[in-house]
């Protein structure tokens, strides 16, 4: 069995079949997950300096030179690599008094921080499978973004204390701005709340919990709360829609969860997609008390230290980007900024960012060509079991870069 590193579910039941040393079939993974194994050899990165292909040793030396000469370094990405490599990246950032940031700044880092600070109770997917009755998907469409979330971990599987199948033993609540594919599943024993304003829905729940009639969803909200009391163990999965809907004002949401917990157990979990984002957040949190956007020189976290803000303010001379392709997601103006920076890309595959990088260092695909540990979105640590062994992986490269600081 292998672990798929396609998303933060980290499914650990993937089987692969080899034919003449090549992966020919993949079992149990979803389409995205299977693609990681089956397309192992497509679009692989090559070592390069200024776009010219060179020997790996030469590219490594150049990267070492850039790191050594850098006065304002940022390390970014890291969510697709292992804990072991993330630790080395954090060590490098500390030694260089650098900035460090990951995708969680744009993604669900705020939710992970709430959980790590114990501001909301959280649980594991295994507990959800065994016990959860009311399952909220709030601002997330796992049907597309986390393909096996519903089928393997939450709504559909029978759990130790949920043996009667989803039509009787689960109650699905989908809160979203549109009728997503996940929302379309909300038929029997389910509710779809069309979110115009997340805060209004949260106030609706708080009103109902305090015995007042909610201003919206006057029938649905009291019914959902009744089901939650009946179910005893309930979970809310929050996605990007919820994060952007709340726009940084999390207090009311936390209050709602606290109030809900006076009636039944209610847990909160992020529903996000980067495989080891939570691992990075946890490591940085253990070291600094913050999950992202951190400056080791100033010893604090700030919005100003988010990767795109650092580019915007010309605060960095060198960017080390590991397992991420910011040019693919950031607006075009950042491409120019990044092209003016000494950018080092460490990635198994060709990326847009790699095209404008000073140095590209190709590495192994975590979980397929290298082992290590990752942390799923629910905080569960999982050991990867590689199919092949590639010596030059993220850990190897980061150790080489650490040698010169
Ligand atoms: S749900 Fe995620 S971890 Fe599971 S097989 Fe699909 S991509 Fe891989």
Q: What is the pLDDT of residue 341?
A: 95
Banded pLDDT at 313 (limits 50, 70, 90): very high
User: Which of 5, 15, 34, 146 is the pocket-test mutation for ligand 1 (most atoms within 8 Å of CB)?
Assistant: 146
Query: Residue 29: CB within 6 Å of ligand 1?
Result: yes
Query: Which residue has its alpha carbon closest to ligand 1 atom 3?
Result: 10
Q: What is the pLDDT of residue 390?
A: 92
Rounded to an integer, the average pLDDT of 80-96 is 98
Domains defined for the chain, CATH in brackets: 43-105+275-402 (3.40.50.740), 109-270 (3.40.228.10)
Rounded to an integer, the average pLDDT of 360-389 is 96
For residue 209, is pLDDT > 90?
yes
> 365: which DSSP letter?
P
Q: Which atom of ligand 1 is least distant from the CA of 149?
A: 1
Q: What is the pLDDT of residue 330?
A: 83
Query: Residue 6: CB within 6 Å of ligand 1?
Result: yes
Are residues 263 and 228 in contact, defined by beta-carbon separation less than 8 angstroms? yes
C-alpha–C-alpha distance, residues 136 and 120, integer Å:
15
Match 């697709």 to its residue by tokens.
Answer: 80
Q: What is the pLDDT of residue 331?
A: 83
Mean pLDDT of the chain: 95
Cα–Cα distance list, 26 to 34, 39, 145, 274 (Å): 6, 11, 20, 21
For residue 111, is pLDDT > 90?
yes
Q: Which atom of ligand 1 is least distant from the CA of 28?
A: 5
Rounded to an integer, the average pLDDT of 359-382 is 97
Query: Residue 26: CB within 6 Å of ligand 1?
Result: no
Secondary element (H or E) of residue 194: strand 190-194
User: What is the percent of the chain where pLDDT is above 70?
Assistant: 100
For residue 265, is pLDDT > 90?
yes
Query: Which residue has its alpha carbon closest to ligand 1 atom 4?
Result: 11
Q: How far is the CA of 399 from the centre of ligand 1 (A)?
A: 29
Secondary element (H or E) of residue 268: strand 265-270
Q: Strands 22-27, 15-19: parallel, antiparallel or unpaired by DSSP?
A: antiparallel
Q: What is the pLDDT of residue 144?
A: 87
Token pair for 344: 């080092």
pTM score > 0.85 for this model?
Answer: yes
pLDDT in tens, 39-55: 999 999 999 999 999 99
Query: Residue 225: CB within 6 Å of ligand 1?
Result: no
Query: Which residue has its alpha carbon closest to ligand 1 atom 1?
Result: 148
Query: Which residue has its alpha carbon closest to ligand 1 atom 5?
Result: 29
The 10 Å CB-count burial string (b at 16+, else e) for 173-193 is bbbbeeebebbebbeeebbbb
Rounded to an integer, the average pLDDT of 383-402 is 96
Query: Residue 9: CB within 6 Å of ligand 1?
Result: yes
Rounded to an integer, the average pLDDT of 75-98 is 98
Q: How far is the CA of 8 from the centre of ligand 1 (A)?
A: 8
Residue 272 makes CB contacts below 8 A (sequence gap 6+) with 8, 104, 107, 108, 111, 239, 240, 377
Radius of gyration in angstroms for the set of CA atoms belonging to the chain, rounded to a whole number: 22
For residue 274, is pLDDT > 90?
yes
Q: What is the pLDDT of residue 167?
A: 86
For residue 273, is pLDDT > 80?
no
Query: Residue 32: CB within 6 Å of ligand 1?
Result: yes
Look at 251-260, 283-292, 324-333 and tell me which has the smallest mean pLDDT. 324-333
Q: How far is the CA of 14 from the centre of ligand 1 (A)?
A: 9
User: Which of 10, 15, 33 is the pocket-test mutation for ligand 1 (most atoms within 8 Å of CB)?
Assistant: 33
Query: Residue 273: CB within 6 Å of ligand 1?
Result: no
Banded pLDDT at 185 (limits 50, 70, 90): confident
Q: How far is the CA of 375 from the centre of ligand 1 (A)?
A: 14
Could you tell me how far CA 359 lies from the centroid of its own chain? 26
At residue 117, the 3 state secondary structure works out as: coil
């Amino acid at each position: 069995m292998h672990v798929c590193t396609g998303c933060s579910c980290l499914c650990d039941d993937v089987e692969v079949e080899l034919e003449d040393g090549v992966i020919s079939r993949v079992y149990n993974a979803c389409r995205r997950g299977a693609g990681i194994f089956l397309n192992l050899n497509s679009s692989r990165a090559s070592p390069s300096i200024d776009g010219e292909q060179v020997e790996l040793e030469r590219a490594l030396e150049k990267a070492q030179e850039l790191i050594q000469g850098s006065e304002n370094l940022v390390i970014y990405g890291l969510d697709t690599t292992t804990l072991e490599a993330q630790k080395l990246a954090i060590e490098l950032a500390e030694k260089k008094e650098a900035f460090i940031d990951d995708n969680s700044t744009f993604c669900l880092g705020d939710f992970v921080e709430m959980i790590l600070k114990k501001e909301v109770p959280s649980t594991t997917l295994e507990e959800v499978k065994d016990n959860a009755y009311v399952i909220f998907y709030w601002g997330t469409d796992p049907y597309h973004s986390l393909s096996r979330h519903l089928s393997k971990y939450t709504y559909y599987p029978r759990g130790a204390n949920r043996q009667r199948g989803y039509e009787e033993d689960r109650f699905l609540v989908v809160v979203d701005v549109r009728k997503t594919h996940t929302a379309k599943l909300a038929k029997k024993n389910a509710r779809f709340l069309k979110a115009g304003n997340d805060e209004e829905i949260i106030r609706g729940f708080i009103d109902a919990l305090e015995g007042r009639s909610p201003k919206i969803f006057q029938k649905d909200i009291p019914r959902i709360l009744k089901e939650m009391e009946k179910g005893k163990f309930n979970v809310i999965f929050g996605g990007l829609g919820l994060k952007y809907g709340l726009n940084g004002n999390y207090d009311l949401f936390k209050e709602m969860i606290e109030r809900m917990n006076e009636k039944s157990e209610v847990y909160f979990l992020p529903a996000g997609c980067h495989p080891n984002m939570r691992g990075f957040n946890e490591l940085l949190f253990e070291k600094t008390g913050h999950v992202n956007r951190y400056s080791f020189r100033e010893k604090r976290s700030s919005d100003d230290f988010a990767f795109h803000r650092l580019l915007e303010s010309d605060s960095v001379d060198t960017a080390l980007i590991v397992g991420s392709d910011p040019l693919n997601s950031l607006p075009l103006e950042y491409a120019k900024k990044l092209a003016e920076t000494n950018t080092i890309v460490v990635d198994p595959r060709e990326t847009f960012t790699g095209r404008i990088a000073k140095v590209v260092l190709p590495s192994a695909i975590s979980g397929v060509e290298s082992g290590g540990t990752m942390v799923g979105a629910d905080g569960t640590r999982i050991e990867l079991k590689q199919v092949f062994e590639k010596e030059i992986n993220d850990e190897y490269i980061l150790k080489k870069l650490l040698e010169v600081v």
